[in-house]
Amino acid sequence: MPQEIDIETAFVRHVRRRGYEALKLVLASQRGWPDRTCPLPGGRICYIELKHPDGTGRESAQQRKTRTWLEARGHPVLVTDDLETAKMWFDEQLEIARAL
């Protein structure tokens, strides 16, 4: 079974093949930030939190609070343990951003 890092690496490759970046931001003063920040056309940004594929990964209370805060400001956030779901979701977000 793949590890969380394997899914994250494959997701980053997927995003880069489309000409974009999936940035890993390390914020010293802010816990709970999503794993990857993806700048999109038109100034849009989407965020993804990747969990371990064995189902043991859970969104922490701080992650949930951060996700809610981002979504309230119009930023799409996905929490998933599935690579294909992550790839399809990113492609959808990219399509939406390009259409605006």
Interval 76-100: pLDDT, tens: 999 999 999 999 999 999 999 999 9
The type of residue at 54 is D
pLDDT at 45 over 90: yes
In the chain, the domains with their CATH numbers are 4-99 (3.40.1350.10)
pLDDT digits (tens, 9 = 90+) for 8-25: 999 999 999 999 999 999
Say what the pLDDT of residue 87 is: 99
